[in-house]
Amino acid sequence: MRTFAILLAACLCLPIALPAAVVSFGSDLLNESNSVTGANVAIQPHPLWAQLPPYEWISYANTGAGPGAVSPPNTNAQKGPTAVFYEYLPGHTAFVRLTVFADDTAAVYLIDQTNPSGTLLAPANWRQDGACARGPIGCEPGEGLILEFAVNRHGPAVLRFDVFQRGNGPFGLLYGGEAELAENSEALSILMMVTGLGWFVWLQARRKRQQEQASEARRQLAAERAAA
């Protein structure tokens, strides 16, 4: 029983000891969409805009700084966002670390099983400077907002970015982060527990066989002595 107790204690500690799997994600045209055209496109960033390699500035159309780019009309909180962008998180995501830039600014929401209508993670920043919002969430280096938040891992989860054009010119969104997944550590914990218990059962069966063999040997020895 002492061996069983040690194994059980070790298995119960595994969910804490084992690291969660981590998946990187961001504005890379994968697992994304938008409310205007559906498919996101990569755009040429303005020279003042921040960079977040390997991720790219995205939009619903060519609203960047390159040839043929168009500037969406200005909007505000009353009119609603210029475009809404969606990032579909990996299955079983339990925790997210995220950095967000936008021109001119953006509000960030989490949609999951706990908050199916969406919960606000960060509001839009209505303070303007010469390029976009002054401070997070803006477009220049140092104006990215860093977010850390838990996600209900039981069901799909989506990040929603409401992006606003405020001062004419280029328009876009840039983000990147990491999603910690719950399933791998839990599955491995269960596997280790089953393996440990299986080993314990095998050990007990082996000990029982050894005891039976020893008893049989003693009986044979006793019979031989009696015959002699």
Over residues 71-123, the pLDDT tens digits come to 999 999 999 999 999 999 999 999 999 999 999 999 999 999 999 999 999 99
Residues 6+ positions from 114 with CB-CB distance below 8 Å: 152
DSSP class of residue 94 equals E
Phi, psi of 223, deg, nearest 5: -65, -40
Instruction: Say yes or no: 127 and 212 in one domain.
Output: no
Mean pLDDT of the chain: 85
Question: The domain spanning residue 39 has which CATH number?
Answer: 2.60.120
Instruction: Say yes or no: 43 and 132 in one domain.
Output: yes
Instruction: Tell me the residue length of the chain.
Output: 228
Supply the pLDDT for residue 191.
43
Instruction: Say yes or no: 38 and 124 in one domain.
Output: yes
Instruction: Say yes or no: 209 and 151 in one domain.
Output: no
**Per the structure, how many domains does the chain have?**
2
> What pTM, to 2 d.p., does this model score?
0.75
Phi, psi of 88, deg, nearest 5: -90, 115
Last residue of a domain, one of 161, 181, 201: 181
Over residues 41-60, the pLDDT tens digits come to 999 999 999 999 999 999 99
Instruction: Say yes or no: 204 and 113 in one domain.
Output: no
In this prediction, residue 68 has a pLDDT band, given cuts at 50, 70 and 90, of very high
Percent of the chain with pLDDT over 70: 71
Rounded CA-CA distance 228/224 in Å is: 6
Percent of the chain with pLDDT over 90: 70
Q: Please say if the pLDDT value at position 8 is more than 60.
A: no
In this prediction, residue 216 has a pLDDT band, given cuts at 50, 70 and 90, of low
Instruction: Say yes or no: 4 and 36 in one domain.
Output: no
Query: Which domain does 109 fall in, by range?
Result: 21-181
168 to 53, 172, 184: CA distances (angstroms): 26, 12, 46
Instruction: Say yes or no: 194 and 137 in one domain.
Output: no
Q: Mean pLDDT throughout 3-22?
A: 55
Supply the pLDDT for residue 205.
64
SS3 state at 21: strand
Picking from 76-85, 122-131, 142-151, 216-225, which range would have the lowest pLDDT averaged per residue? Answer: 216-225
* Alpha helices in the chain, H assignment, sequence order: 2-17, 183-227
Hey, what amino acid is at 56?
Answer: E
Instruction: Say yes or no: 34 and 68 in one domain.
Output: yes
In this prediction, residue 6 has a pLDDT band, given cuts at 50, 70 and 90, of very low
Instruction: Say yes or no: 114 and 209 in one domain.
Output: no
Which stretches of 126-204 are assigned E, i.e. beta strand?
145-150, 158-164, 172-181
